[in-house]
Structure 1
Amino acid sequence: MVMGVIGAVLQVIVVVAGAPLLVGVMRQVRARLEGRAGAGVWQPWRDLRKLMRKEPITPHGTGWVFRVAPLLLAGTTLVVAAAVPLVTTASPMDGVADLFAVTALLALGSVALALGGLDTGTAFGGMGASREMTVLALVEPTILVSTFALSIRVGSTSLGTIVTATVQDPLTVISPASLLAAVALAIVTIAETGRIPVDNPSTHLELTMIHEAMVLEYAGPDLALVEWASAMRLSVLLGLLSSLFFPLGIAGADAGVLALLVAVIALVAKVGVLGVVLAVGEVFMAKLRLFRVPELLAGSFLLALLAVAASFFLA
């Protein structure tokens, strides 16, 4: 139990400290591939420090929803970071690390930010919130169904149990159900974190932006918290994707301190590689038209359903 607590704390520390660095690495990779020098991997941390020093500004007419949304977004992300098996499968929050609970926490953060955008009463806020809810309605069922396909062979919806079973039998990763679920989860991870081709995190073009439209009215520490939470969600989802399908290095229930340190290094390496691959893909892909995004997400949901069918019929 003690090692489980230490592992959960390490997960949170790695996610909190490493998430801005992951964003910096991805921006730097994109800059290099596009022939630019780039601002450096530490630029997101410098941006957060600058925003934290500014005076908080609240738009006229907004209420407590606007102020609470960044806190709720960051809080749910931290709970997910502590609960899901990123470094260890023996987290004391294993009871919370249920498939349905984790998905609900992710959805709660997205809904809170959408309500914050609506609370501003601006056209951009309402437009971004509407688009975010459309994406959310297609993303969350896919996360549930694709991960449920992995839970069928285990007989449990606990993410820790699923990862433990994969560690004990790594060949299950190359099964049709796992491959279909992996593709579906990869697509919805891109959509959930607002990356190309679903959304462009570096644009402010009103015809295309989704996430940025909801946070245009935030400034100072509130904006820093939103940006920090968004980076942490990206890190957690990439980490969860790597844990479910490539759980190399994850510490078990009887692991010691050395195993936890190795697991941290493995997590950083796996998430870093996935982040670089995602950044490289963004350079060579164009953003989809907004009305094409539901088609992409519906396709990912179909893949998740096929993964469930394969789990039953090919078991």
Structure 2
Amino acid sequence: MSAWIAAAGQALLIALLAPIVTGVTRAVRARLEGRAGGRIAQPWRDIRKLLRKPPTSPEGAGVFFSAAPVVLMSTSLLIAATVPFVSTAGIAGSADLIVVVGLLLLGTVALALAGLDTGTAFGGMGSSREMTIAALVEPTLLLAVFALSTRVGTTNLGVIVAAGASDPAAVFTPASLLAFAALAIATLAETARIPVDNPSTHLELTMVHEAMILEYSGRDLALVEWASAMRLAILLGLLANLFAPWGVATGTTWTAVVIAAAVLTVKMCGLATLLAAAEVYAAKLRLFRVPELLAGSFAMALLAVLTSYILA
């Protein structure tokens, strides 16, 4: 299998799997709350229905509003194609940590600008809150993975995952637990999950992500929802493969890739189940308490980096 085909196949896998991961979180949360809930494939049905409808734009909206869904989806697909989710070889394992975080931030900024471009009170409120959270989350994402990269000597995610799979003792230390906790909290904040945000609320005083996309409809809303699901799947996949890299293929043979894809699916669905269970027993923080949580995660990531240097 050529490297380009492997990268395209990996991006397609993440794109197809992302709504399923979102469906797993919703279904598990509904069951734990004693509700019937929807089926696991319901997010796919919602996206398919929205893709059939033409989009509408609010009066006065400009290029940022129109371009944001495409930018958000493009950055998500690029990350999905280059991060070592299935294989560490070729293009699919060539992503650099700093580039990946930059692409995530690019999508966040595009959506924040779209919220401002609508000229509505909700859009501006959600954009300001989103950028405040992003300013605290992105450094934590970098430092949490730096705790592993210092042991390997590179920020290439493919090399980090391959090293963790082949020689775990050389990569993982007790400080890796701090890095895992920091990255987990950053994932919750980056994907607008409880306790930072509630993806199922439309209460204007608490909305962050939802406030920025209230004006979207039709195909544009489908792209935003699909890309948001992909970002959740991407970060859960990173969390799984960086700290539990077993099962990731080191080549691009069909057998190894298929097995690795199956293992990745199990990992992501398992993390989605844990995420849903945690959300049932956690409450959303007040907005002014969110920086305290994110500052704590940043401190844990910084301690993980310092400890990794000392133990190196």
Residues 117 and 47 (structure 1 numbering): CA distance in 2 closer, same or farther, change over 3 Å? same
TM-score (norm 1): 0.96
1:217 corresponds to which of 209, 215, 222:
215
Contact 1:129–1:210 (CA<8 Å) still a contact in 2?
Answer: yes
Local SS of the residue matching 1:36: coil
Contact 2:164–2:172 (CA<8 Å) still a contact in 1?
Answer: no
Letter of the 2:283 partner, please give it: A
Local SS of the residue matching 2:90: coil
The correspondence of residues 246-265 of structure 1 with structure 2, limited to 5 A, is 246-253=244-251, 255-265=252-262
Structure 1 gap segments, 5+ residues each: none
What percent of counterpart residues are identical? 61
Structure-2 separation of matches of 1:202 and 1:178: 32
Partner of 1:105: 103
The correspondence of residues 112-131 of structure 1 with structure 2, limited to 5 A, is 112-131=110-129
Structure 2 gap segments, 5+ residues each: none
Q: Is 7-16 or 40-49 further displaced after alignment?
A: 7-16
Structure-1 separation of matches of 2:9 and 2:263: 13
Partner of 1:281: 278
Partner of 1:143: 141
TM-score (norm 2): 0.97
How far 1:45 sits from its partner (Å)?
1.1
Structure-1 separation of matches of 2:127 and 2:73: 18
Local SS of the residue matching 1:92: helix
Structure-2 separation of matches of 1:140 and 1:26: 24
Partner of 1:86: 85
Partner of 1:55: 54
Letter of the 2:304 partner, please give it: A
Contact 1:72–1:112 (CA<8 Å) still a contact in 2?
Answer: yes
Structure-1 separation of matches of 2:57 and 2:170: 51
Residues 19 and 73 (structure 1 numbering): CA distance in 2 closer, same or farther, change over 3 Å? same
How far 1:172 sits from its partner (Å)?
4.8
Partner of 2:161: 163
The correspondence of residues 1-315 of structure 1 with structure 2, limited to 5 A, is 2-92=1-91, 94-95=93-94, 97-172=95-170, 174-253=172-251, 255-315=252-312
How far 1:91 sits from its partner (Å)?
3.1
Structure-1 separation of matches of 2:6 and 2:187: 24
Structure-1 separation of matches of 2:301 and 2:310: 14
Structure-2 separation of matches of 1:189 and 1:258: 31
Contact 2:152–2:171 (CA<8 Å) still a contact in 1?
Answer: no
Local SS of the residue matching 1:235: helix
Structure-1 separation of matches of 2:194 and 2:62: 32
Local SS of the residue matching 1:62: coil
Structure 1: 4+ residue segments shifted above 6 A:
none
Letter of the 2:164 partner, please give it: T
Structure-2 separation of matches of 1:94 and 1:28: 32
Local SS of the residue matching 1:104: helix
Q: CA RMSD in A?
A: 1.2
Contact 2:72–2:111 (CA<8 Å) still a contact in 1?
Answer: yes
Equivalenced residue count is: 312
How far 1:174 sits from its partner (Å)?
5.0
Q: Is 130-139 or 85-94 further displaced after alignment?
A: 85-94
Deviation string, structure 1 residues 123-167 (Cα, Å, up to 9, x no partner): 000000000000100000011111111111111110011111101
Structure-2 separation of matches of 1:262 and 1:125: 43
Residues 32 and 173 (structure 1 numbering): CA distance in 2 closer, same or farther, change over 3 Å? farther
Letter of the 1:42 partner, please give it: A
Letter of the 1:311 partner, please give it: S
Contact 2:164–2:242 (CA<8 Å) still a contact in 1?
Answer: yes
How far 1:5 sits from its partner (Å)?
3.0
Structure-1 separation of matches of 2:164 and 2:75: 26
Contact 2:148–2:172 (CA<8 Å) still a contact in 1?
Answer: no
Structure-2 separation of matches of 1:41 and 1:98: 33
Contact 2:151–2:171 (CA<8 Å) still a contact in 1?
Answer: no
Structure-1 separation of matches of 2:171 and 2:152: 13
How far 1:170 sits from its partner (Å)?
2.1
How far 1:177 sits from its partner (Å)?
2.2
How far 1:3 sits from its partner (Å)?
4.5
Local SS of the residue matching 2:195: coil
